Structure 1
Amino acid sequence: MSSSHARLDDEVLRASRQDGTYPRPQLLRPNWADLSGTWSFAFDDANEGLAKHWFDAPAFDREIVVPFPFESEASGIHDPSFHPVVWYSRELTADELAATGFSAGDRRLHLHFGAVDYRAQVWLNGVHLGAHEGGHTPFSFDVTDALDSSSATQLLVVRAEDDPLDVSQPRGKQDWRLEPHSIWYHRTSGIWQPVWLESTADTFVTLLHTTPNVPEGTVTLRVDLNRRPTTDVRLKMAVSCEGDELATVSVAARDIGTTVVVHLPLQSNGQAYEELLWSPEHPRLLDVSVTVLEDAASAQVADEVYSYFGMRSATVAGGHFLLNDRPYYVRSVLNQGYWPESHLAAPSAAALKREAELIKELGFNATRVHQKFEDPRFLFWADVLGLLVWAETPGTFEFSPRAITRMSAEWTAVIERDLSHPSIVTWVPLNESWGVQHIAHDSRMRAYAQSLVSLTRALDPSRPVVSNDGWEHVDSDILSIHDYEWSGEVLGDRYRDKDACEALLGGIGPAGRRMLLAGQEIGERPVMVTEFGGISYASKQVPDDAWGYSTATSSDDFVDRLDAVLGALAESSALAGFCYTQLVDTLQETNGLLADDRTPKADMATLRRVITRSGPAA
């Protein structure tokens, strides 16, 4: 059991300078307690725990290291077989409560979960706090009224349920079979992102969104409180850059939600406005603080939170992807976000930083996190280091009302969670028709795909949306193509110029699927090849079922093949970018640029040279 504090490098809190350990980097409070570590654990294969009230007096027979899934080696359990129901328990100590600044009578204590796959119920001292569904989305409970003031410790119990055979769950690359096969991997069940405590006053901030407007030189701040104010509550909002104040506003909070447009005077100089802009080359972050004054007359502070944002725009026009209204060539890599020792859970906060660093060192300016909503701490490092991100849903495998409901709810929750990250420049609600396998001739599936695009634009009109990455687009702002052709000569012919790309998009694509549905026009939308390559080269031990889309026999052969496919796309006069498959070997998929331990399969400088030949130099 351990406790921790957000560590900032200045006396004045600046969220842009946090150390990457805080689980919710864009709504930061300085005092919190990390509940990672050893918990008690039990399988409930007979599903009897609820009936036998395990939440009252758990006597679990195992130990597990949280937040690692029980299937993984890092958890200490390392049992990848089917266990649909599991239980956890641990005691919360007085020191951990104190680390949050909690004191009985004038503070509220909150228990947070980054993610539990797939369904969770939580108890404290036998009191049922509530339930949550959604394997990738955060949730929390106010536990204050369940505390036992007569005890030095508080008993926390969690029940997690994850049916491996339920293909209506948004599950991404998690296999429904007992052993990984083809492109699917070991499951990640139960608690797999941080669990932590913090305390607040009775009135506190629950959400802080920032939406920049580069042409206007403004940022829109949305602040949600936990309840509608009943007293004279005011919000003081400040924006700063490198410790220098840019703007401060103070407004009355009349409802749960307050939205304010903040003007940044420095942006009025048209010759200097780019100095504050965020980009991969210059990832300038601006800090935000919000102070809740519960009694405006006495300036009594109820809550203070800290965040950051990037002044940048992400749009499309004239066949280009535009970053800050300038054409920007997207040089991306597919990232599964999977580690052999911990599965979808990162082995450490430092590993998330290193992942972003490796992508940049290879010469990429973007990554597509594939079939996973990534840990917000990775997005923090993408913001800090300057790495564009395509955010993609983990797909369901069936089309049904239950799958539609689950996907829509989880997608909505993640957009709300991640809306303010400047690194995220594209939303991808569907991939390769997963969950809508018959979209080409089933009007219901087309309507569903269109509804996800419309929902995304309603929640966030500031970014492009790809309706169905790879093929069978219904309404995409970027026309993306998946093409695992191994011959550089063939690729070169397919994408040589605008006419070649339009011929491909107007018919059947490389995977034998129609590219555009519902009579769409290609128009001026940018075209990108967002999956290609996939060259297998097992630089270490070769799995029996190792595979890729073509196979290299040596490191030199691997580089030559990589150079051929990347070079073919580099010669295109029509493409706006690409996404290479993939960053890291993942189980039987030995088609990474790096082995599963993140070591490169060829000299890093050589890989970078080959990768950066497409588009502007990194």
Structure 2
Amino acid sequence: MTAQTPTAPHPRPQLTRERWFNLSGQWQFCYDDRDVGLDRRWHESWDPSAGVVERTIVVPFPPESAASGIGDTGYHRVLWYRRTFIAPHAPGERLLLHFGAVDYSAQVWVNGHLVAEHRGGHTPFSADVTGVLADSADQVVVVRAVDDPHDLEQPRGKQDWQEKPHAIWYERTSGIWKTVWLEPVPATRVEQLRWTPDLESAMLTLDVRLNRVPERALRLRLLLTHEGETLADSVVSMTRDRATISVRLQQADMTLERQRMLWSPETPNLFDAEISLYGNPAPDGSTAGEAGELLDAVFSYTAMRSIAASDNRILLNGRPYFLRLVLDQCYWTESHLAMPDPDAARRDVELVRSLGFNGVRLHQKTADPSFLYWCDRLGLLVWAEMPAAYEFTSRAVQRVTHEWLEVQRRDYSHPCIIAWVPVNESWGVPNLATSSPQRDFVTALYHLTKALDPTRLVIGNDGWEQIVTDVITVHDYTAHAEVLRQRYGSNAGVSDTLQEVQPGYRSVLLPGMTRDGHPLMITEFGGISYDAEDGPSWHGYSVVHSTEDLIRRYRGLVDALLDAPAVAGFCYTQFTDTLQEKNGLVGADRKPKADPAVLRAITRRPSAAVPADEIGSFEYGDYPSTVMTPPSPTVDFPERLS
């Protein structure tokens, strides 16, 4: 925990403190295929002679991956981890132990004491370990993770339940697969931030939660700046564990786009925020912002941005906007769902932009917070999707709902996210068309999501069998551009497609759901494989054998949708090759299969639906001149393994 890596993003980028300590790197590791570790109390005594077949793993890479140093893709339900650390907190501080994600369930001990239990493979959790720290220098953390490959009630996304990847599913990502880190914190502290913009009233609202109800009245200060200019300096009193600060920005600032105050992919303007928590005021009558003892200080950022669906169009910041998305599974051959190095997220965002897309549809995976950070910073819209379970049972309903709520709580404040997608292609609800309970579940997820976040679009079930949604979405993998033109080139063609054609061999709209002004998007199309003949592969929906043919086919399909006045946006399948899926515009190694400038020119051509949609143009590398970097952490992130 000594190397300085300023470029490494904070593992919780919208609520940072100046000190955090990364526990990534070498851990002790073993499988527990007989599930005897709990009975033998491995969390208290890690003794190889007692049955622990010890190995070394590189955290946060899953043991199935080559980057972990293990590379074992077989069935292993129970995994154990152990390492020591030195407690970095000062007297009077508390010490939090954070886990970015452990798939699927986790138990955590520190010095033999159980400090945390968590279920959900894609969301973070933490524990205050101060009370169990030993007097000796070395502290011991042990993790037991359970990830049953055969459990189809578990939200698993595209992690395969078969031993070898088949069709469109890929290798599993078990155990610890996101950053583990330590954070020294005050006893009374800011625990959660929630930013909500409202363009109509030019109001920006910050909801703050503390870790506990304060024993005395406290004061909370928000300092909001944009490129060095103070936008707000507000103080409120806190007598409970939560408070709200609402800031009204100058109306002129919000309406004059030339001042570049709104957030969009073309102008990703962010406001930097300092949130300070103070104790009792000083006796000399100092101003509120300076009064009293400073108890806690955190850093954040936010933006002014709105998204809506109205009159067959998507509206970004109140203006019609054509969505040009690409399907992104955020998967790497060497590290699976885990990022291979701290800079991988930034490189992917830059690469997506270089191909001309203004957004991504995250597919069956929750994004790493650093990916959302760079989407916020560099300007890339995000459709956030819940990883699916594959059986419909009461347990699956509870698991999906619980984890979906945690996803929204973690990611709510990111301005890049414009849509929530709780279900994709009826995965986990296979009898949606005929089962009332399954329809009720999808409807409930939609309305629950809207209740928690009325500011974003919600797509109840992406692709087909839609019963409730803000955007009608269709998955259409025809290989022929002329067929796309016939299906979506006119309102009559769209009506016939939605009611009769059924491109995914499923009804697009279930009884009770009508188009009725909803925007129409083709959220999966293309899937063109290029030379998918080097070993076992899933060849996609069509195959080409030259760069020229790939460009020609891509141009034809994209042009057909850009020329369709009834289409409000699209999502091309897909960004990268993913194991046996060889239908990416770039390979698994992130090397483009065609000249990015050529692909960008095709992707960025004006659309018939919204001919003047963008606020301005952007090109690869055209980023804001001022980018706030979070405080440089003390970290020890493992170098990328080749």
Q: Is 1:570 aligned to 2:557, yes or no?
A: no
Q: CA deviation at 1:26?
A: 0.3
**Pairwise CA distance, 1:223:** 0.3
> CA distance change for structure 1 residues 286 and 269 in 2, over 3 Å: closer, same or farther?
closer
Mapped contact 1:331–1:614 kept (Cα < 8 A): no
Per the alignment, residue 435 of structure 1 pairs with 428
Contact 2:524–2:572 under 8 Å retained in 1:
yes
- Are 1:34 and 2:22 an aligned pair? yes
Whether 1:497 aligns to 2:483 is no
Find the aligned partners of 1:286 and 1:266 in 2 and give their Cα distance. 16
What amino acid is the match of 2:228? G
Whole-Å separation in 1 of the counterparts to 2:98 and 2:193: 17
* Residue 294 (structure 1) shift: 2.6
Q: Which residue of 2 aligns with 1:11?
A: none
In structure 1, what is the Cα distance between the partners aligned to 2:386 and 2:406?
11
Contact 1:267/1:273 (<8 A) preserved = no
Q: 2:130 & 2:157 partners in 1: Cα distance?
A: 36
The aligned counterpart of 2:371 is 378
Match of 1:62 among 30, 55, 58: 55
Q: Distance in 1 between matches of 2:367 and 2:4?
A: 23
Structure 2 gaps, min length 5: 283-290, 608-612, 619-642
What is the CA RMSD across the aligned residues, in angstroms? 1.5
CA contact (8 A) 1:20 1:380 kept: no
C-alpha displacement at 1:6, in angstroms? 8.2
> Equivalent residue of 2:278, what SS?
strand
1:124 aligns with 2:132: no
Q: Which residue of 2 aligns with 1:183?
A: 168
Inter-partner Cα distance in structure 1 for 2:541 and 2:243: 51
Q: Which structure 2 residues correspond to residues 99-110 of structure 1 after superposition, within 5 A?
A: 102-104=89-91, 106-110=92-96
Partner-residue secondary structure (3-state), 2:526: coil
SS in 2 for 1:31: coil
Tell me the residue number matched to 2:12.
24
Match of 1:153 among 127, 138, 145: 138
What TM-score does the superposition give when structure 1 sets the normalisation length?
0.94
Residue aligning to 2:127: 141
- Determine the structure 1 residue equivalent to 2:267: 282
Larger RCO, structure (CA 8 Å, separation 6 or more) = 2
CA distance in 1, matches of 2:123, 2:84: 24
The amino acid of 1:291's aligned partner reads: S
Equivalent residue in structure 2 for 1:43, among 28, 31, 39:
31
Q: Counterpart in 2 of 1:308?
A: 301
The reply to whether residue 600 of structure 1 matches residue 587 of structure 2 is: no
Distance 1:505 1:4 in 2: 57
Instruction: Tell me, yes or no, if the aligned pair for 2:253 and 2:261 is still in contact at 8 Å.
Output: no
Offset of residue 409 of structure 1? 0.6
Q: Indicate conservation of the 8 Å contact 1:314/1:425, yes or no.
A: yes
Looking at structure 2, the residues matched to 365 and 421 of structure 1 have their Cα atoms a distance apart, in angstroms, of 16
Listed as ranges, the gaps of 5+ residues in structure 1 are: 8-18
Correspondence 1:146-225 to 2 at 5 A? 146-149=132-135, 151-225=136-210
CA distance in 2, matches of 1:571, 1:124: 60
Whole-angstrom distance in 2 between the partners of 1:227 and 1:6 = 33
Q: CA deviation at 1:274?
A: 5.8
| Alpha-carbon distance, 1:265 to partner | 2.8
Letter in 2 for 1:429: P
| Matching residue within 498, 502, 513 for 1:509 | 502
- Cα displacement (A) at 1:66: 0.2
The residue type equivalent to 2:600 in the other structure is R
Structure 1 residue 271: deviation in Å? 4.0
Cα offset, 1:565, TM superposition? 1.1
Q: Distance in 1 between matches of 2:221 and 2:247?
A: 12
User: Does the 8 A contact of 2:202 with 2:254 survive in 1?
Assistant: no
> How does 1:231-270 map onto structure 2 within 5 Å?
231-265=216-250, 267=252, 270=255
Deviation of the 1:288 alpha carbon: 1.3
- Deviation string for 1:135-192 (max 9, x for gaps)? 000000000001002x111011000000000011110000000000000000000000
Q: Which among 517, 521, 539 is matched to residue 547 of structure 1?
A: 539
Tell me, in whole angstroms, the C-alpha distance in 1 between the residues paired with 2:245 and 2:301: 16
2:404 matched residue in structure 1: 411
Q: Indicate which of 308, 311, 314 corresponds to 1:321.
A: 314
Superimposed CA distance per residue, residues 336-381 of structure 1 (whole angstroms, 9 cap, x where no aligned partner):
1100000000101201110111000000001001000010000000
Q: What residue in structure 1 maps to residue 626 of structure 2? A: none
Farther-moved stretch of structure 1 (390-399 vs 502-511): 502-511
Shift in alpha-carbon separation, 1:210–1:6, aligned structure 2, 3 A: farther
Q: CA offsets per residue over residues 173-226 of structure 1, 9 Å max, x none?
A: 000000000000000000000000011111011111110111211101000100
CA contact (8 A) 1:492 1:572 kept: yes
1:276 deviates by 1.1
- Whether the 8 Å CA contact 1:3–1:32 is kept in 2: the answer is no
Query: 2:640 aligns to what?
Result: none
How far 1:594 moved relative to its partner? Answer: 0.4
Match of 1:534 among 511, 527, 534: 527
**Number of the residue aligned with 1:402:** 395
Alpha-carbon distance in 2 for matches of 1:373, 1:217: 30
Deviation sequence 1:239-285 (CA, Å, 0-9, x none): 11112211111111122221221112365674468631000000000
In structure 2, the CA distance between the partners of 1:281 and 1:80, relative to structure 1 (3 Å rule), is same
The structural deviation recorded for 1:233 is: 1.1
Report the residue type matching 1:43 in the other structure: Y
Q: 1:5 Cα shift?
A: 6.7
Partner residue of 1:613 out of 600, 605, 610: 605
1:506 is displaced (CA, Å) by 3.0
Moved more, 260-269 or 56-65: 260-269
Residue 453 of structure 2 corresponds to residue 480 of structure 1: no
Q: Residue 130 of structure 1 aligns to which amino acid in structure 2?
A: A
Local SS of the residue matching 2:438? helix
Matched, 1:87 2:80: yes
Q: 1:226 is matched by which residue type in structure 2?
A: N
Q: CA deviation at 1:507?
A: 3.8
One-letter amino acid of the structure 2 residue matched with residue 348 of structure 1: D
One-letter amino acid matched to 2:234: V
